[in-house]
Amino acid sequence: MPQNGSDLDLSASQPQLTTSRSTRLGLLKLMYLSREGDRREGVLMRQGRGWFQVSGTGHEALAALSMAMEQGDYLFSHYRDRALLLARGMTNYELALAYFGKRNSSSAGRQMPAHASCPKRKIWTALTPTGASMLPACGVAWGMKLEQKDSVVVATIGDASTRQGEFFEAVAFAVERKLPVIFVVEDNGYGISTPTDRMNPLRLKLIHEDVGITTLDARNPENILAAAVPALAKARQGHGPTILHCELDRLCSHTSSDDHRIYRVEEELAEIEGRDPIDLAAGELIANGEISSEQWQQLRDEIDRTVDEEYALAERAPDPAPEENADHLFGTPADTNAPSLEGDRQWRMVDAVNRVFQEGLETDRRFVFFGEDIEDPKGGVFGITKGLSTAFPDRVFNSPLAEATIAGVAAGLACYGMRPVFEIQFVDFIGPAWNQIAQNLSTIRWRSKGEWTCPAVIYAPYGAYLAGGGNWHSQANEANFAHVPGLRVVVPGTPEDAAGLLWTAMHTDDPTIVLLPKHRLRQHTLVTSPVKPVPFGQAAVRQEGSQVTLVAWGNCLEPASDASSQLVGEVSVEIIDLRTIMPWDRETVCRSLEKTGRLVIVQEDVRSCSVGQMIISDLTSCPESWDHFLCPPQLVSREDVPIGFNPICEYSAIPDTERVVAALRKVLEG
């Protein structure tokens, strides 16, 4: 039978507030089970039967945290939380499967060992950069609070990672919103080889004591329980977060790739060995007559045998299949009713988006909106959310000026089961959120083999063609997102497409980046038919032609259309609005290219490593599409230069009608 922490009676609906003999003995057995699993993995590594190990040796007493938790509580775990994972109900065999990277492990072999995930036990899919899990933890806690649940999130982090900006943002957001979250700082004094005593913000007193900080010796489970019980009770009662500063020892090297004897002297190693939490707990039980030395040895022998058997069984389990490597990158797009955006009238994109947002809020209470200045009276710097916070004050909120918070909270809120639709005020400001978007949101489904999903929409006004924007209000950046597996990236060019693509994004279970072209937000456009959801990866032929295929999206549809109009009677141009950057509609572009034999792409992102270059590379490297070309394709693009404030600087950098006309004539001459 796979070994876990069942002796702690985790099926109880209430936390265990006392430590009876059976509880103390059960906890000791669990701590030793964790230690023996680490020891077994170390042996396997030395035998060449594994690729990597990260050990929780010395952190075992933290399993006592589980005794203060209830079944509905979430755990955001650190990679040294093996004992705590066992206490929450994971089995030694499951952790063994993860060590070997097996197909049936919690990540199907995609995550390193000790990066646990188990939705049924509410153990979130762990991240290697542990600081990055703090904001998603706040997202789950916020979801609980919005639903008026009395559950709590326990989020563990290494002391070195507390210098990450996202840790400070998470603490600030939790305090601001009085979220039911406990930040557990596992302070073993090292960040790999670097001593942290002069770097740790808790030791530097950088966080005000009013936040609620409890410092404790976490080598003793009794101390942990004594601190955790009131902290979780405080959170359940709506009084906000607590930081548990847990001082303990790392009794091992950082990982199997490290040797701590290089940077730790023998005296230090001897000192911390004397504080081994398992030896201390066993010694106390023996000294109190609650167990004999012989009984303790017998228990250890039984656990040793079981661990060896389970690792041997896990080693023989099936490996991942190469053909399954892309499984769970995306889910299946959901069928959805059309938004009620009527046709036969003029629409502005900003109004169409606002209408879709309003309808989403009216029809599904899971939608939550969050962003800088999006509440009334302003309703966002472009007025996109005007009126929404007045109508839905419990689900439309201003965010702090903190883009990592916006993206990280979106991840947690989405995993909790809400449907966040969050605004980045300008895509130029996405940088602080990049870690969450590229490392977290985009990988959640894939790294958990589809057991966690992230139905989050992050939208942002993007692009230039509005004079005076300067370098930080004029960027496009679509290629940055297109390079990230697991993200869908869309750029609508018309009011009906903005509504249709957003509606699709809001009803899919994967993260979507929606870039709204600022130049087109307030243009009036006749919408001739009722709006329908727009499928991802489906381009639109805006104008049929026979001589040149002209591909554009977003703001660049305008210079593309103007150039075609200038050449009426001279060139027959087929204009394709790509609409979706990732995935892009190769079939529609190839079908047009087969007809015309000539290709021009217009984009406002920089040239190098861009979407336009990717499309050209794809089409020219494929023999079938290569045969369609009558001449070399042309890319009309912003050059690799920032956009300046003076309109002369801006408009000399980005595509204009004249450059598109020149490209069209060039392919005809070629």
3-state secondary structure of 306: helix
Residue (of 240, 358, 255, 308) closest to 37 by Cα position: 308
- As annotated, the active-site residues are 473
Backbone phi and psi for residue 256, each to the nearest 5 degrees, phi listed first = -65, -10
* Structure token pair of residue 516: 């709204």
Cα–Cα distances (Å) from 402 to 2, 242, 268, 328, 591, in that order, read: 44, 22, 41, 30, 44
3-state secondary structure of 523: coil
Q: CA 271, 275, 279, 283: dihedral to nearest 10 degrees?
A: 110
DSSP 321: P
Amino acid at 140: V
Half-sphere exposure of 437 (CA within 13 A, CB side): 26
By 3-state DSSP, what share of the chain in percent is helix, strand and coil, each rounded to 5? Answer: 45, 15, 40
Question: CA-CA distance, 199 to 240, in Å (whole number)?
Answer: 26
Q: Cβ(136)–Cβ(157) under 8 Å?
A: no
Q: What are the residues whose beta carbons fall under 8 Å from the beta carbon of 332, sequence distance 6 or more? A: none
Strand partners, 292: none
Length of the chain: 670
Phi-psi region at 569: left, alpha or beta (left = phi > 0; alpha = psi -120 to 50): left
Q: Are strands 573-577 and 548-552 parallel, antiparallel or unpaired?
A: parallel
Q: Cβ(200)–Cβ(193) under 8 Å?
A: no
Q: Are strands 524-527 and 345-348 parallel, antiparallel or unpaired?
A: antiparallel
* DSSP code per residue over 3-41: --SGGG-TT-SS---S--HHHHHHHHHHHHHHHHHHHHH
Question: CA-CA distance, 517 to 522, in Å (whole number)?
Answer: 10
Strand partners, 153: 74, 181
DSSP 354: H
Question: CA-CA distance, 273 to 251, in Å (whole number)?
Answer: 7
Question: CA-CA distance, 489 to 537, in Å (whole number)?
Answer: 9
Q: What are the residues whose beta carbons fall under 8 Å from the beta carbon of 279, sequence distance 6 or more? A: none
* Structure token pair of residue 276: 């081994």
Residue (of 580, 60, 92) closest to 313 by Cα position: 92
- CB-based burial of residue 301 (10 Å sphere; 0-12 exposed, 13-18 middle, 19+ buried)? exposed
Cα–Cα distances (Å) from 356 to 373, 377, 413, 665, in that order, read: 19, 19, 21, 41
DSSP 446: H
Question: CA-CA distance, 417 to 638, in Å (whole number)?
Answer: 40
* Structure token pair of residue 617: 């590379």
Residue 662: other Cβ atoms inside 10 A: 13
